[in-house]
Chain A
């Protein structure tokens, strides 16, 4: 084939649309994965219940919108409520497990995820609920009417992650979190109340998951099982991005989401997830410490 024919055969429009879609999904995934990475980095806890915190955030959003009609209020309330719930969970179930085999925290958070999922099923039933977007409105992207809202999601997620990064770098408690992540023992010796830093970090991670839930809500139906797919993707992202690396998980989120978005041009979305699995396998084979972290010397 000649160059022109090859170029004509490439579905440019679809690729650009999928790039935008990939970035939108990638930013939401990045927000979820950041919380997971923060929690893992600071206290070596793999939070199996993270997807459920995402799901509960979406449901709180549903309830707040139903009573007040305001999307933005829903976003704020959901973040705060789930952050508090996260703190409560950490204090009751994870603090007693400090110092034990890390396996026990996986089990405990797995148990929490089961309880939260079924609680949501019990309270809200199996029928999916809808969160209304805060505004409708489209712009024309090639042959599609592309909702502005989707771009807003990406922008807001980026803003939240950016604010979080600034907090870590310059905030007083941000320094505490970074110190505790690096050396829990010396942080204690410096008077930093490490148990509370852990609780705070868990709460922040939970809040970020909840915010993702509300932001993502209008794109899909809100139901009790929505956390499951995301937790899997988030785990993949955390491993591919390098466990404990915030920058790595953000990069990996966008990378994987873009690849999946491109794949959906040719296969069904259900099959496109295989892309993330393949990326994981390749990472494990060739760069097990993470694709986006420098290989340790």
Chain B
């Protein structure tokens, strides 16, 4: 990036970060949780962007990664006393990594549409397993548990408040964003983008495309799982609904609405979608998906670059 645009970028970044830090102090409870939720879904959408936006692989499997992160955390929080935040994260990441490896192994040999369909089906496989294996996963009802305290063993342990939870989520999401950003700008990230541009040529140059794809799926799965862990901690339950493929679909909607291949776009998309949901719920109650769905379709047709792409072009004029 040029010096000037780098300054602009980091200034913008700092401003937004500052706003998000201050948010829980000024917003009422409902909106506080709302912003935290946007961050969590934004993280999920960011992870999905690694595949869709950077590697060019549309995945409907993110609900599985997210869900396993959630259930992994649940496992840690239920099985290990006292409930430990860091172990929850670790278990969640292991869960989602395992799923990602499984999905990656089978799906990456396929291209485009076939990949999308098989990730969707795998997502459903995990849903069915979780839904029916009631003894372990609580089946339909899911699992509920207590929120772990924010603790560094041996130093301190303080239960989360609404504000501190928000800051913790913000810290995790910001760190994830910076890590992912670093990765997409690294040589590895460049190879991924080259795969998106022209897979055949990338392969011809000599890159082991399959290995990069598997790595991309694992990377994506890890951060999706992290989002699942955060969600579990915030809401104190894990339910199979989140593993249903519709969640993957909504994730893809966030990506498209915000702008794929931008990392920030998906967060914006998540925010936009959740705001639309709030707004339309006032008038349409639970049928908000009808107008929101129509807006989504219109955006696919007329604004395929998403909100970010649209604003970028508008600013350039």
Interface residues of A (CB under 8 A from B): 44, 46, 93, 96-97, 100, 102-104, 106-108, 110-112, 114-115, 117-119, 121-122, 232, 235-236, 238-239, 243, 268, 270-271, 273-274, 277, 280-281, 284-285, 288
A104 in contact with B287 given A235-B121, A284-B106, A288-B109 (CB within 8 Å):
no
A288 in contact with B297 given A114-B249, A235-B120, A239-B118 (CB within 8 Å):
no
- Which residues of A lie under 8 Å from residue B132 when comparing CB positions? 268, 270-271
On whether the beta carbons of A232 and B124 are closer than 8 Å, the reply is yes
One of B118, B256, B294 near A280 (C-beta < 8 A)? B118
On whether the beta carbons of B110 and A288 are closer than 8 Å, the reply is yes
Q: Report the minimal beta-carbon distance from B286 to chain A, rounded to whole angstroms.
A: 8
A40's nearest neighbour on chain B, judged by CB, is: B113
- Which residues of B lie under 8 Å from residue A273 when comparing CB positions? 128
- Which residues of B lie under 8 Å from residue A271 when comparing CB positions? 128, 132
Roughly how many angstroms separate A232 CA and B127 CA in the complex, as a whole number?
Answer: 12
One of B110, B112, B297 near A111 (C-beta < 8 A)? B297
On whether the beta carbons of A115 and B290 are closer than 8 Å, the reply is yes
The answer to whether the Cβ of B215 comes within 8 Å of any Cβ in the partner chain is no
On whether the beta carbons of B300 and A108 are closer than 8 Å, the reply is yes
The answer to whether the Cβ of B268 comes within 8 Å of any Cβ in the partner chain is no
A243's nearest neighbour on chain B, judged by CB, is: B114
On whether the beta carbons of A118 and B293 are closer than 8 Å, the reply is yes
Interface size on B, residues (CB 8 A): 35
Roughly how many angstroms separate A46 CA and B58 CA in the complex, as a whole number?
Answer: 13
Interface centre among A103, A284, A288 (most CB of B within 10 A): A103
- Which residues of B lie under 8 Å from residue A122 when comparing CB positions? 287, 290
On whether the beta carbons of A46 and B110 are closer than 8 Å, the reply is no
Contact with A along B114-134 (1 / 0, CB 8 A): 101110110011001101100
The answer to whether the Cβ of B289 comes within 8 Å of any Cβ in the partner chain is yes
Q: Report the minimal beta-carbon distance from B301 to chain A, rounded to whole angstroms.
A: 5
Contact with A along B73-89 (1 / 0, CB 8 A): 00000000000000000
B297's nearest neighbour on chain A, judged by CB, is: A111
- Which residues of A lie under 8 Å from residue B249 when comparing CB positions? 110, 114
- Which residues of A lie under 8 Å from residue B289 when comparing CB positions? 114-115, 117-118
Q: Report the minimal beta-carbon distance from B253 to chain A, rounded to whole angstroms.
A: 8
Interface centre among B106, B107, B301 (most CB of A within 10 A): B301
- Which residues of A lie under 8 Å from residue B131 when comparing CB positions? 270
Q: Report the minimal beta-carbon distance from A56 to chain B, rounded to whole angstroms.
A: 14
On whether the beta carbons of A97 and B125 are closer than 8 Å, the reply is no
A111 in contact with B300 given A46-B113, A277-B124 (CB within 8 Å):
yes
The answer to whether the Cβ of B304 comes within 8 Å of any Cβ in the partner chain is yes
On whether the beta carbons of B293 and A111 are closer than 8 Å, the reply is yes
The answer to whether the Cβ of B71 comes within 8 Å of any Cβ in the partner chain is no
The answer to whether the Cβ of B252 comes within 8 Å of any Cβ in the partner chain is yes
Roughly how many angstroms separate A43 CA and B187 CA in the complex, as a whole number?
Answer: 37
Roughly how many angstroms separate A232 CA and B289 CA in the complex, as a whole number?
Answer: 21
On whether the beta carbons of A277 and B121 are closer than 8 Å, the reply is yes
Roughly how many angstroms separate A284 CA and B289 CA in the complex, as a whole number?
Answer: 34
- Which residues of A lie under 8 Å from residue B114 when comparing CB positions? 239, 243
B131's nearest neighbour on chain A, judged by CB, is: A270
One of A107, A117, A239, A280 near B300 (C-beta < 8 A)? A107
Roughly how many angstroms separate A102 CA and B56 CA in the complex, as a whole number?
Answer: 12
Q: List 15 A-B contacts (CB under 8 A).
A: A46-B117, A93-B297, A97-B300, A97-B301, A102-B113, A107-B296, A107-B300, A114-B289, A115-B294, A232-B121, A236-B121, A270-B128, A271-B128, A280-B118, A284-B109
On whether the beta carbons of B128 and A274 are closer than 8 Å, the reply is yes
Q: Report the minimal beta-carbon distance from B50 to chain A, rounded to whole angstroms.
A: 15
On whether the beta carbons of A108 and B297 are closer than 8 Å, the reply is yes
B107's nearest neighbour on chain A, judged by CB, is: A284
On whether the beta carbons of A284 and B118 are closer than 8 Å, the reply is yes
Roughly how many angstroms separate A100 CA and B110 CA in the complex, as a whole number?
Answer: 20
On whether the beta carbons of B290 and A108 are closer than 8 Å, the reply is no
A93's nearest neighbour on chain B, judged by CB, is: B297
Tell me which residues from 240 to 265 in chain B have a Cβ below 8 Å from any Cβ of chain A: 245, 249, 252-253, 256
A112's nearest neighbour on chain B, judged by CB, is: B297
One of B110, B124, B128, B252 near A110 (C-beta < 8 A)? B252
Tell me which residues from 11 to 38 in chain B have a Cβ below 8 Å from any Cβ of chain A: none
On whether the beta carbons of A281 and B116 are closer than 8 Å, the reply is no
Roughly how many angstroms separate A96 CA and B300 CA in the complex, as a whole number?
Answer: 10
Interface centre among B125, B253, B296, B297 (most CB of A within 10 A): B297
B296's nearest neighbour on chain A, judged by CB, is: A111
On whether the beta carbons of A119 and B290 are closer than 8 Å, the reply is yes
Roughly how many angstroms separate A119 CA and B249 CA in the complex, as a whole number?
Answer: 18
- Which residues of A lie under 8 Å from residue B110 when comparing CB positions? 284, 288
Q: Report the minimal beta-carbon distance from A88 to chain B, rounded to whole angstroms.
A: 13
Complex A-B, nearest 3 residue pairs according to Cβ-Cβ distance, in ascending order: A115-B293, A111-B297, A114-B293
Q: Report the minimal beta-carbon distance from B41 to chain A, rounded to whole angstroms.
A: 16
Q: Report the minimal beta-carbon distance from B122 to chain A, rounded to whole angstroms.
A: 8
Q: Report the minimal beta-carbon distance from B244 to chain A, rounded to whole angstroms.
A: 9
- Which residues of A lie under 8 Å from residue B294 when comparing CB positions? 111, 115
